Amino acid sequence: MSDVLLSVRKAGKHFMQGNRLHWACRDVSFDLYPGEVLAVVGESGSGKSTLLRLLAARHACDEGSVHYNVRSESGTESAAARTDTHGAGLADLAGLSEARLRWLARTDWGFVEQHARDGLRMNVSGGANIGERMMALGSRHYANLRTQALDWMERVELDTGRIDDLPATYSGGMQQRLQIARNLVTHPRLVFMDEPTTGLDVSVQARLLDLLRELVDQLNLAAVIVTHDLAVARLLAHRMLVMKDGRVVEHGLTDRVLDDPQHAYTQLLVSSVLTP
Amino acid sequence: MDENYNFGFLDERTKKSIRRAMLKAVAIPGYQVPFGSREMPFAYGWGTGGVQVTASIIGRTDVLKVIDQGADDTTNAVNIRRFFARTTGVETTEKTADASIIQTRHRIPERPLTEAQIIVYQVPMPEPLFRLEPRRRETITMHALAEYGLMNVKLYEDIAQLGAISKTYDYPVLVNERYLTSPSPIPKFDNPKMHMNPALQLFGAGREKRIYAIPPYTCVRSLDFEDHPFEVQQWEHACALCDATQSFLDEMIVDDEGSRLFVCSDSDFCGERRTAGHTGEQQAVRLRDALSPDTGRSGATQ
Amino acid sequence: MYVAVKGGTAAIENSWHLLARQRRGDTALPELTVSQIREQMSLAVDRVMSEGSLYDAELAALAIKQSSGDLVEAIFLLRAYRTTLPRFGYSLPIDTAKMQVMRRISATFKDVPGGQILGATYDYTQRLLDFALLADEADGSGAGSARQPDSLSAVAATVSIASHVMPRINELMAKEGLMEMPGPVAVAEPGDLTRQPLMFPADRPLRLQALARGDEGWLLALGYSSQRGYANAHPFAGEIRRGQVSVEIVPDELSFAVDIGEIEVTECQMVNQFAGNLEVAPQFTQGYGLAFGGAERKSMAMALVDRSLRARELGEDVVAPGQDEEFVLSHADSLEASGFVQHLKLPHYVDFQSELELVRKLRAAHAKQRQISKDGAVAAGLATASSGRKAA
């Protein structure tokens, strides 16, 4: 599988601030391959979250483009979703219909939000959360859905006895695990993660990172992970981008960037990490 | 007929525009077509949609039946029937068999309909997803993309928390394997009658300004799970008047002690059975609460 | 033995008789005339005309009489009547700059060309019940009605000012570039809310139509909320004017406009916080309200809500219910609201029957479950006694 999965060329997005134009991110280019994990690292305001949203088609690019290697066939997508891509190959997200983008978001992509509340349905049980994508794809056997939900809960190390509990009764770490399970049921090839461990206790973070590493490995997931925490990048990512003020200032293999930073800003970042 | 008003109250242009909406609705079974609903001499919420649909299709040779809760003589049915008598002069009837147009609120007649009949449903909330997503913009997108996961999640959750799906009326159906539709607040008992019905089924929502339709012989499937199949209500009692065991029964409280009488909701159906010689037990029954100390059904008391 | 209750028809007819009696009240008292209502309850008539979407004071007064003073019911009557009227065209836009002004105030400037005219208003009355108005009743004859209150004779019957000295304040500010001047909408004709259903997103012409016929109470509450921090637009009353305007149409057979009559309207222009972007420098933005007759409160509330609903097109964040177009406009029509709320009085026993069956079923299941746990606990108790381990 040497086909590029995600291809980004000079992507940029601007916003109006007062009456000034402000480029949240600009001139970002990279290729991502199946099974590859890319970390996007920077401080708040660096543009990393905006970039993530561009990649996941939640914003449209104001400059440049994002291409994704759409699977050419699937029996379960609706007729509405099928019409606009002409077979396999890289498709410009800007040219895909909303139906197609929503279908992608529900099947071939995952998006793990920083705050679990944004990525879960808080008013239905854990089991319903995990089963939703399967139901949306036509799965209609209650016991099977339940078995699958239990299965995934085990895989993300959640207590299966909590399957009928509402997510509001879960701890923060558990909610993140639930979010992960909810996204992975359809075996997506690409997962976007926005600060997946931020806000959790340090020990909880560590266990969650271990889980993510295992899952990425087992399922051959490609992922783009936005984080300000270099340790997360070190643990999970093959390659990383360092962003500052909306631009990529450095990129490369994670170990190389962290052990031998070239750009002044990267050096600053690396040196300011507290080491135990 | 009152000569001060046009035949059927609405002017011909309005009827034409409503019929155009109906044609679209018939062409796309289960899809909600917006239409320019007019203010009628009835309050919104009291059947204006059904009345506008009926007014747009009714002709001088039609025979009209109007029911509410299955009966012809409930006040609202009486009011609507009189309105049409006054504005069209067409023949009205209480017999399902004799009607060419049946306007109904909350029930489908027990007697099977024919290809020569049209049934017009009064619909308060045409959007089956409204309790889950009140915003119309969102639901329009969901219907366009057939994104009905939200409804399935709700049904799953009901079973997980309650052990059963909690919808007992206005039970969502999938029409022609494509559009999720509200059957109007008929009891789920009536849902199976919608499937492959020889009659044309039209739905009018005046306040929400939408019309939809199920053409004759269309597939209509109530949502369920393969291992939790859709099932209809059952009664332990038969109709006290005509002894019917397969019709929807109204429950009436008849004394201070809570004795109940069960009688067919469909007054014409019950009347026909009695004419044909069937009689029921004519007795009230006492029901026991499952959680009270002396749990268990008691038989008929009198 | 049970006999099915019949007699719906008779019940309905009897209810009409009772209603007629209730409406008439004590027959020893003279019956209210429609003209009396039209003349002496003019503000009620104005509201019914505005929300009934029909300018006819006499019909509105009749509706009020027929509905025993229930204005929402009267509005319903007028709207239902409107449905039966043939539509033969659209008028030209009324020109409020040419209004024969009876009242005109501005809160944004101390003095303005044409002056501030207080006119007839409750604003500066003291809200004390005037028992002198009650005194006329004492003899039961209504004889006082022929006599004008003393105060009136001191004031001229109408105040008419030449319109050319009373330009709209918004236009004056627009000349200086301070006020946005809404340009013509790209689409040639505005949609017609009486002919097509409201779909979202709705453009401003349709929103204004919905607000114009919307329930005054609803708009008042939402306008109030916008002043209390639920999405501030910092409003100032730029101008409120009330008076007569001409209605003109261009008939197909002629190529010029023909004046078909005059109507009284109240117009409110609210001036709001300035916005601005890369292309357009900061300016004041407008909120607009218009109502038939002297419905000032309605026109002001409408202007506040109009401005709130412009959030999207002015690039503001939608944070408050009053800015949520679908929420505000879906619930603004009193006919729809009243009809649906009151429809709960209709029989719903068939659906309730279905709910009864479900609740009974669930209670039975609950009872069974309790029994199982009780048995389980007993059995576990026995097990505990022997093994010493806590049961799951």
What pLDDT sits at residue A12? 95
Minimum CA–CA partner of A22 in chain C = C278
pLDDT, residue A236, reads 93
Residue C187, pLDDT score: 64
Mean pLDDT across chain A? 89
A44 touches chain C (CB under 8 A): no
Q: How far is A149 from chain B (nearest CA, A)?
A: 12
Which burial class, exposed, middle or buried, applies to C281 when counting CB atoms under 10 A from its CB (0-12, 13-18, 19+)?
A: exposed
**Residue C5: what pLDDT?**
62
Q: Which residue has the higher pLDDT, B297 or B227?
A: B227
Residue type, A139: S
Say whether C264 sits in a helix, a strand or coil: strand
Confidence class for position B299, pLDDT limits 50, 70, 90: very low
Is A124's CB within 8 Å of B145's CB? no
Is A16's CB within 8 Å of C276's CB?
Answer: no
Chain A positions in Cβ-Cβ contact with residue C277 (cut-off 8 Å): 16, 19
Task: Pick the residue from chain A with its C-alpha nearest to B142.
Answer: A99
- Identify the bridge partners of residue B214 per DSSP, sorted by sequence position: B201
User: Does residue B264 have an active-site annotation?
Assistant: yes
C chain contacts of residue B281, beta-carbon cutoff 8 Å: none
Q: Measure Cα distances from B100 to A144, B21, B54, B115, B117 in Å.
A: 47, 21, 11, 10, 5
Q: Quick one: closest CA in A to C276, which residue?
A: A19
Q: How far apart are the first and last CA of chain B?
A: 49
CATH for B12-222, options being 3.40.50.11310, 3.40.30.10, 3.20.20.150, 3.40.1440.10: 3.40.50.11310
Q: Which of B96, B77, B52, B83 is nearest to B199 (CA)?
A: B96
Residue in A19, A21, A159 to test binding to C, most C beta-carbons within 10 Å: A19
How confident is the prediction for chain B on average, in pLDDT?
A: 91
> Buried b vs exposed e over A64-73: b needs ≥16 C-beta within 10 Å?
bbbbbbbeee
Q: What pLDDT sits at residue C279?
A: 64
> For the residues B154-177, what does the mean pLDDT come to?
93
**Residue C184 has what pLDDT?**
65
Q: Tell me if A150 sits within 8 A of A143, measured CB to CB.
A: no
Of C201, C341, C349, the CB nearest to B69: C349
Q: Which chains contact C through at least 3 pairs of Cβ atoms less than 8 Å apart?
A: A, B
B219 as an active site residue: the answer is no
Nearest Cα residue to C296 out of C242, C338, C234, C349:
C242
Write down the domain spans for chain B.
Answer: 12-222, 234-288
**Could you tell me the pLDDT band of residue B292, with boundaries at 50, 70 and 90?**
low
For strands A37-41 and A222-227, give the pairing.
Answer: parallel
Instruction: Name every residue whose Cβ is closer than 8 Å to that of residue A202 and which is 6 or more positions away in sequence.
Output: none
Would you state the pLDDT for residue C6?
Answer: 65
Give B-chain residues touching A96 at CB under 8 angstroms.
Answer: none
Catalytic residue status for B242: yes
Bigger pLDDT: B292 vs B7: B7
Residue C229 confidence (pLDDT): 85
For residue A77, is pLDDT > 50? no
Strand order in the sheet with B179-181: B179-181, B173-175, B220-222
The DSSP call for residue C351 is H
Which one, of A236, A224, A143, A146, lies nearest residue A185 by Cα? A146
Q: Which residues, in sequence order, are bridge partners of residue A227?
A: A41
**Please, is A141 exposed, middle or buried when counting C-beta atoms within 10 Å of its C-beta (0-12, 13-18, 19+)?**
middle
In the predicted structure, residue A262 carries a pLDDT above the cut 90: yes
pLDDT at B64: 98
Q: Say whether C354 sits in a helix, a strand or coil.
A: helix
Instruction: Tell me which chain C residues have a C-beta less than 8 angstroms from the C-beta of B12.
Output: none
Alpha-carbon gap, residue B221 to C340, rounded angstroms: 29
| pLDDT at residue A275, as a whole number | 57
- C300 contacts C240 by C-beta, under 8 angstroms: yes
Q: How many helices (H) and strands (E) does chain C have?
A: 14, 4
CA angle C278, C281, C284 (to 5 degrees): 130
In this prediction, residue A80 carries a pLDDT of: 45
Residue A79: its pLDDT value, please? 47
C280 → chain A, closest CA residue? A19
Distance (Å) from the C-alpha of residue A213 to the closest C-alpha of chain B? 30
Give the pLDDT mean for B186-214.
97
> What pLDDT digit, counting tens, does each position of C298-345 carry?
999 999 999 999 998 887 889 899 999 999 999 999 999 999 999 999
pLDDT value, residue B297: 40
| Residue A81 pLDDT greater than 60, yes or no | no
Question: Is A161 part of the contact surface with chain C (CB cutoff 8 Å)?
Answer: no
> Tell me, what's the pLDDT at C112?
85
How far, in Å, CA of C58 to CA of C247, rounded? 18
Of C7, C80, C86, Cβ closest to residue B41: C80
Q: What is the mean pLDDT of residues B94-120?
A: 97
Structure tokens at C88: 């033969």
B70 vs B294: which has the higher pLDDT: B70
Chains that touch A (3 or more CB pairs under 8 A): B, C
Please check whether residue B250 is in contact with residue C349, taking contact to mean a CB–CB distance below 8 angstroms.
yes
Point out the catalytic residue in the list B30, B47, B50, B280. B30
What is the residue-level pLDDT of chain C in tens, covering all 392 positions? 556 566 678 888 899 999 999 999 999 999 999 999 999 999 999 999 999 999 999 999 999 999 999 999 999 999 999 988 888 888 999 999 899 999 999 999 888 888 888 888 988 888 888 888 887 665 555 444 444 455 554 454 455 554 456 888 888 888 888 888 776 666 668 889 988 899 999 999 999 999 999 999 999 999 999 998 888 778 999 999 999 999 999 988 888 999 999 999 999 999 997 766 666 678 889 999 999 999 999 999 999 999 999 998 887 889 899 999 999 999 999 999 999 999 999 999 999 988 888 888 888 888 888 888 888 888 877 776 766 544 33
Query: E-strand spans in chain C?
Result: 100-105, 236-249, 258-275, 283-292
Q: Which of B49, B50, B206, B239 is catalytic?
A: B239
Cβ-contact C170, C269 below 8 angstroms: yes
Interface predicted TM-score of the whole assembly (ipTM), two decimals: 0.85
pLDDT (0 to 100) of residue C143: 47
Contact between chains at C315 and A19 (C-beta distance less than 8 A):
no
B298: pLDDT strictly greater than 50: no
Q: What pLDDT score does C49 carry? A: 98
Angstrom CA distances, B30 to A167, B218, B231, stand at 35, 10, 22
Q: Is the dihedral of CA B251, B254, B259, B263 positive or negative?
A: negative
Mean pLDDT of A84-107: 82
Q: Which of C201, C350, C356 sits opposite B106 (nearest CB)?
A: C350
pLDDT score recorded for residue C69: 96
| pLDDT at res. A138 | 87
Is residue C241 within 8 Å of C102, Cβ to Cβ? no
- pLDDT score recorded for residue C145: 47
Q: What are A26's strand-pairing partners?
A: none
Choose the catalytic residue: B8, B50, B206, B270.
B270
Q: What are C235-254's pLDDT values in tens digits?
A: 999 999 999 999 999 988 88
Interatomic CA distance for residues A149 and A145, integer angstroms: 6
Q: Are A194 and A113 in contact (CB under 8 A)?
A: yes
**C80: which chain B residues are within 8 Å (Cβ-Cβ)?**
39-41
Tokens describing residue A60: 């449209």
Which of B8, B47, B206, B264 is catalytic? The answer is B264
User: Tens digit of pLDDT for each residue in A9-38?
Assistant: 999 999 877 668 889 999 999 999 999 999
CA pair distance C36, C65, nearest whole angstrom: 10
| Residue A214 pLDDT class (50, 70, 90 cuts) | very high
Domain boundaries, chain A: 122-188
Among B8, B206, B242, B280, the one annotated catalytic? B242
Contact B227 A141 (CB under 8 A): yes
Write the CA distances from A57 to A63, A132, A209, C39, integer angstroms: 13, 21, 26, 63
**A167 has pLDDT over 70:** yes
What is the per-residue pLDDT across A38-58, written as a single tens digit (0 to 9) for each?
999 999 889 999 999 999 999
Query: Do A10 and A247 contact (CB within 8 A), yes or no?
Result: no
Contact A132 B149 (CB under 8 A): yes
User: Nearest CA to B163 among A149, C368, A159, A136?
Assistant: C368
End-to-end CA distance of chain C: 55
Report pLDDT for C87.
Answer: 82
